[in-house]
Structure 1
């Protein structure tokens, strides 16, 4: 039977010291037994993962057999077994960094099942009544009206259970963050997708419950900040608390009733909305925000009093970003005398275990390799190395900053295109059946090339509604491993929600098949499908047009779309193989990186003339 231990919260990974994990082998042995594992199989599984008793010795089969007899596992009611399975599945879904809509639906259903079983338990206990099964049924035997449950309130038992769940599920590097949670300032450079947002959302909730301190979440956009809120709401459901409100007010039995509720604020980077708030603040992806200096003055002002904590965490962007001098310590050295300046070692070797610098900032670097060594088994690193070019892999997963001096598009120009779409785009709702109503959209597609294994990308854009107006990127999708028919069907499916009037497709290689399927009569009603075949001249024209649009501030996308920024910055000017001509490379597989989203966007921008004064009305076909 294949191992399922890593799916359970708090299970140590092979090679991880068991003493670092707050782990109850008796509880997990019971869970495995209820799911059909034999006693010998459980003992072998514990031995494989290094699970030991208090003396550091492997847990023998006889011990597990004695647990079974003493705790009467075979006599446990069905409801207890069902609750155990529901809890494990719900925790597994919560731990996923990227959740699908199906995951969220399943989480909601599991939470309701847990609540239903809790009512059944109350009904079965002495004194249980019909009102326990159905909250709408009045208890006629009660001496008076039932006490209404407090909104957004945690009992002492609920708080203790939530903290237990949290601590049992930590990876080693998350445990290190928890051990340093009381530090005044933390600055963390991290790999993508290692569960940082998940962790800090949980840490903040625990602190709000226990200390009553306000928690402020600052992200590149309101949509990104709401990821914190989504996690926190899901965490509270684990112990039967339904959190509501924005800002969210939280109370608990751990603090005097007369104390003010802890406030949880979820903010985008519009710093004007952040002024006047005070509390611990968490600055998500701070290396990717626009106007960092100005925003950081407001953000750090939120935590001026010594009781507040400041936490910055992000994947690296470029050395040109205004936050980079804060990371290196150079920002502190400005305007200081030579003898007052400090040198801070920000190498991976110095910060892999975390270190407080002379500026009293605790810094930590967590690469994907560090995450794997710390128990995170969510990655196939060999596959990632295969999928990404070396320089891109180093930036995304090894925490290395990019030097964008050779890029065709400057990082700071791209970041300035980011906006808070939830606040600013009142005519767009991604969750609606028709997100942009019946207004026209343009789309660009860069197909997957099977011979070099790069990604395919589809970008959907609202074109300018007036001369000199903005191109707004509404959606972007990347896909991999599909043949040309599957790619064409994917495009049709996504664009069926919009009134698409233009679609530009790179028609070389696999793209030729995609183009033929979509360009045939009736395949895309009302849409002009443009055939694009690359040449040196065409690439230069596309880059020139995009540079003009971006410099003039005519491109907009939600600030959480960090992959759009990375895609454009990865395009570099280079010489052709002959050395006689200049071209632009990236996103074509091999060692050139991936810029599929950028090329797809440029397929859209080129549908407007270079001068931007008029939009074409006919079909566009560009041949080499």
Structure 2
């Protein structure tokens, strides 16, 4: 089967690889959908054998130069730059030390052979004419020294970097509690990373970050390290980076055992997507118990039934155990949660400063990184309201329960049988593929699902990838996946745009099931997924947050004939929740009765 990419593209990829560009950079530069394709080509064609031999220092310098000249650097680029710079410095220091030792050995040998006189200082000492003046002890360089940084510098950088709504967060950091409901992608993580660094420099107080996953916490660490390096030439490394004034940056996930004992200003990221929030909040609140410490919660909304909603709405404060008279008094207190009131920020009766920032607010207040017309075109009204206008879903709007979806997130690093960088990532174990075609406003999605080896074990979403381009190219990409995995089943949405891919794959593989979406089929797919999710038998990597969001968009709707169907605003002009539907297409091989013998049904058009 011919490759989806031309020989010229592969030649260019090989040349860049030989020049020590990373597979990720090559894929992005040449428009290749996944870096894994580069790893596969390099392994198969032994590109490493064609890389010119260079010293370790030369390789470090070449890679650092590429990173410095790269536009639009990512967090990973900054971390790699920091690591390579440290390695280069150590290599140069070792080389300098070795050179100095060799020079000293040569001088000693010359003195022994009478080719060179003893130094004057040693001759005077031997004659008893006094010892040379004692040199002043060299001061040891202070690690992560921030003593030279002034408050004026920090203020100037802050005002240069951030927009009005972010500077409003800074102006209200004196409040002991802040709770911010925000649109996606408006720079909250970016801003609070700076705020924590600035505060740590000025106050010497610890900064603690709690995120829904360890990888999300690493984003904070990456931003903080990038700020420190770019503006102050400080290299922060280690699990718990520490400044010269003693301030530490501590990063934890929602595992309560990993955060006990922390102390400092507390930042809790994406609280409305954290499972068992009430239990976690009991553990993390004491982190900021001291009166000078503050707690900051921020998140995009999920559903009103989430455990963090009572904290946002004020109901947690109203219902907190108190005397009867006090409880009655609190129950009568009204919390104004309207956008009009919270747009500029408002301190509530419970002493929590609340703020809502929609994408439209962000644009209005200086953020020029969005095209609102494009975002509205690419999202349904339902999706736009939740993701960008900060509107909560109500209980019952989704057929899936948020708590059950959040419980599906797993630490994929523990999946020792799966190595995405290997030529055969899952060796010869069987996988099922699910394909959801693009409609206007989204991308095609392919997921790779590993069925359980034993009854009672969960199905696992090993990987997901967006596909674009013509249906021929997409079919070719799926064909490439079948060459790297042992694919026993492919569930393909053959409705509308998926028809070409379905027909192409059917001609190539006997284990393809075309799924022509109908009311009955969607019901069966949803019920099957519901059963697995509610039973805790479906898992995906914790950083795949869009999967839970996609399942949440799926809801019941009555047809004209009063029958129930399931929709996620999918029609001729929109197709969303693509990862969720792709997973359900892959699970079409699993019977409704539960894990066991693969399904044998085929639904007619």
- Which residue of structure 2 lines up, in the alignment, with residue 75 of structure 1? none
Which structure 2 residues correspond to residues 337-352 of structure 1 after superposition, within 5 A? 337-341=327-331, 342-352=333-343
Deviations 1:178-212 (A, max 9, x none): 11223211100000001111111121122222222
Q: Do 2:210 and 2:217's aligned partners in 1 also have CA atoms closer than 8 Å?
A: yes
1:337–1:532 Cα change, 3 Å: same
- Which residue of structure 2 lines up, in the alignment, with residue 156 of structure 1? 148
> Structure 2, unaligned stretches of length 5 or more?
1-64, 105-134
1:313 aligns with 2:292: no
Q: Do 1:93 and 1:107's aligned partners in 2 also have CA atoms closer than 8 Å?
A: no
1:536 aligns with 2:486: no
Cα distance in 1 for residues equivalent to 2:225 and 2:370: 26
1:168 aligns with 2:160: yes
| 1:283 paired residue among 268, 274, 281 | 268
- Which residue of structure 1 lines up, in the alignment, with residue 478 of structure 2? 491
Q: Do 1:533 and 1:623's aligned partners in 2 also have CA atoms closer than 8 Å?
A: yes
1:415–1:207 Cα change, 3 Å: same
1:114–1:553 Cα change, 3 Å: closer
Q: Larger % of helix: which?
A: 2
Cα distance in 1 for residues equivalent to 2:100 and 2:146: 24
- Which residue of structure 2 lines up, in the alignment, with residue 326 of structure 1? 311
In structure 2, the residue corresponding to 1:405 is in which secondary structure?
coil
In structure 2, the residue corresponding to 1:516 is in which secondary structure?
helix
| 2:457 paired residue among 466, 469, 490 | 469
1:174–1:588 Cα change, 3 Å: same
1:580 CA drift (Å) = 4.5
- Which residue of structure 2 lines up, in the alignment, with residue 241 of structure 1? 234
1:613 CA drift (Å) = 4.3
- Which residue of structure 2 lines up, in the alignment, with residue 623 of structure 1? 604
1:211–1:596 Cα change, 3 Å: same
1:227 CA drift (Å) = 1.3
In structure 2, the residue corresponding to 1:316 is in which secondary structure?
coil
| 2:171 paired residue among 172, 176, 179 | 179
In structure 2, the residue corresponding to 1:251 is in which secondary structure?
coil
1:241 CA drift (Å) = 2.1
1:265 CA drift (Å) = 1.8
Cα distance in 2 for residues equivalent to 1:492 and 1:176: 51
Cα distance in 1 for residues equivalent to 2:531 and 2:500: 32
**Bigger shift: 268-277 or 360-369?**
268-277
Structure-1-length-normalised TM-score: 0.72
Cα distance in 2 for residues equivalent to 1:327 and 1:196: 18
- Which residue of structure 2 lines up, in the alignment, with residue 24 of structure 1? none
- Which residue of structure 2 lines up, in the alignment, with residue 371 of structure 1? 362
Deviations 1:483-512 (A, max 9, x none): 212322443456665444332111222212
1:574 CA drift (Å) = 1.6
Cα distance in 1 for residues equivalent to 2:437 and 2:404: 27
1:617 CA drift (Å) = 9.4
Q: Do 1:320 and 1:412's aligned partners in 2 also have CA atoms closer than 8 Å?
A: no
- Which residue of structure 2 lines up, in the alignment, with residue 393 of structure 1? 384
Q: Do 2:441 and 2:574's aligned partners in 1 also have CA atoms closer than 8 Å?
A: no
Q: Do 1:221 and 1:421's aligned partners in 2 also have CA atoms closer than 8 Å?
A: no
1:544–1:114 Cα change, 3 Å: closer
1:331 CA drift (Å) = 1.1
- Which residue of structure 2 lines up, in the alignment, with residue 448 of structure 1? 438
Q: How many matched pairs?
A: 502
1:536 CA drift (Å) = 2.1
1:88–1:173 Cα change, 3 Å: farther
- Which residue of structure 1 lines up, in the alignment, with residue 251 of structure 2? 266
Q: Do 1:389 and 1:591's aligned partners in 2 also have CA atoms closer than 8 Å?
A: no
Q: Do 2:438 and 2:575's aligned partners in 1 also have CA atoms closer than 8 Å?
A: no
Deviations 1:340-371 (A, max 9, x none): 34221111100111111111111111100111
1:579–1:568 Cα change, 3 Å: same
Q: Do 2:442 and 2:574's aligned partners in 1 also have CA atoms closer than 8 Å?
A: no
> Structure 1, unaligned stretches of length 5 or more?
1-84, 120-129, 256-260
Q: Do 2:268 and 2:298's aligned partners in 1 also have CA atoms closer than 8 Å?
A: yes
1:209 aligns with 2:201: yes
Cα distance in 2 for residues equivalent to 1:468 and 1:357: 48
Q: Do 2:82 and 2:235's aligned partners in 1 also have CA atoms closer than 8 Å?
A: no
Which structure 2 residues correspond to residues 497-536 of structure 1 after superposition, within 5 A? 498-521=485-508, 528-536=511-519
Cα distance in 1 for residues equivalent to 2:461 and 2:66: 39
In structure 1, the residue corresponding to 2:292 is in which secondary structure?
coil
1:147–1:495 Cα change, 3 Å: farther
Which structure 2 residues correspond to residues 608-619 of structure 1 after superposition, within 5 A? 608-616=590-598
1:445–1:345 Cα change, 3 Å: same
Cα distance in 1 for residues equivalent to 2:250 and 2:453: 35
In structure 2, the residue corresponding to 1:175 is in which secondary structure?
helix
Cα distance in 2 for residues equivalent to 1:310 and 1:538: 47
1:495–1:310 Cα change, 3 Å: farther
Structure-2-length-normalised TM-score: 0.74
In structure 2, the residue corresponding to 1:93 is in which secondary structure?
coil
In structure 2, the residue corresponding to 1:321 is in which secondary structure?
coil
Q: Do 2:207 and 2:265's aligned partners in 1 also have CA atoms closer than 8 Å?
A: yes
